[in-house]
Structure 1
Amino acid sequence: MKILLTYTSLTGRNEEIAKHLADYLKDKGADLDLEQIVDTDAFGLSDYDAVIVETYTYHDGEVPDEAQDFYEDLADVDLKRTKFAVLGSSSKTHLHFGRAVDYFTMQLNSSNGEQVADSVKIDRDPDEDDYKRVEALGDYILKSLK
């Protein structure tokens, strides 16, 4: 089963989380591709059995500029029930904490994807509990592929 983990990161925080999740999934035997959203072709997502999108939220609830094309392309993609999950780090100091995570979740659902894990939002730098939630998201992805 082939999994794609695509991410965007401004400060390096989301990149760190993505690499942690990628290592976790690979240790569990997953065949995983890790790439930045700016390099991801939304029209190729249905080639994967599962897709994980990780994003930060820009300013007060916006999808990051470098993820905008990918996000908009999702509106024209049929994921054909491709399993997916979304996560990301944001800051609770913002009025719309983690809203880009919500936007991607809605867009992937609208694109006929099958959400297999609750979205995970992390306040700034992840702590041990956050990493446990990230790993649980990974476990849900793996269970859905069995």
Structure 2
Amino acid sequence: MTGHNEDIANHIADYLKKNKQEVTLEQLVDTDAYDLPDYDAVVVATYTYHDGDLPDEAEDFYEDLKDVDLKRTKFAVVGSSSKSHIHYGRAVDYFTMQLNSSNGDQAADSVKVDQEADEDDFKRIDQMADYVIKSLQ
């Protein structure tokens, strides 16, 4: 809605490419959760909507994850929200829990960003990406 997570996803993709990683960048609405086990690692970027809700466009993907065995696929989750909400970053928490429940292997701590990512946030995001890269070696 604001483009904050698109900026985050593009930043992660660029960072991974700079570090010689092959990257496929897709919107959750266009992604088939059943294809995730085909990847070595997955980074989900999501925002938290309203009172801690998943974005509408992510709901089908999230529901499908319940039926997917990630077969130890490495993953990380990042997302923007507003610290002014009581349920700050809850969608990040939901995805982290579901990816773990789907037998994924969490490569890095989840990262929550207060609205638009700043320089410090991008450092934390880069660190998350570094952990994902290390987990693949």
TM-score under structure 2 length normalisation? 0.99
Of the three residues 101, 104, 119, the one matched with 1:128 is 119
Of the three residues 117, 134, 137, the one matched with 1:143 is 134
Quote the residue 2:71 is aligned against.
Answer: 80
**Within the alignment, does 1:33 sit opposite 2:27 as a pair?**
no
Q: Which amino acid aligns with 1:82?
A: T
Quick one: distance in 2 between partners of 1:51 and 1:137?
12
Contiguous gaps of at least 5 residues in structure 2: none
Q: Which amino acid aligns with 1:11?
A: T
SS at structure 2 position matched to 1:95: coil
SS at structure 2 position matched to 1:31: coil
Quick one: distance in 2 between partners of 1:87 and 1:98?
9
CA deviation after TM superposition for structure 1 residue 63, in Å: 0.6
CA deviation after TM superposition for structure 1 residue 127, in Å: 1.0
Misfit runs of 4+, over 3 Å: none
Query: Where do 1:90-105 residues align within 5 Å?
Result: 90-105=81-96
Question: How many residue pairs are counted as aligned between the two chains?
Answer: 137
Quick one: distance in 2 between partners of 1:115 and 1:66?
23
Q: Which amino acid aligns with 2:94?
A: Y
SS at structure 1 position matched to 2:13: helix
**Structure with the bigger percentage of strand:** 1
Quick one: distance in 2 between partners of 1:63 and 1:98?
10
Q: Which amino acid aligns with 2:3?
A: G
TM-score under structure 1 length normalisation? 0.93
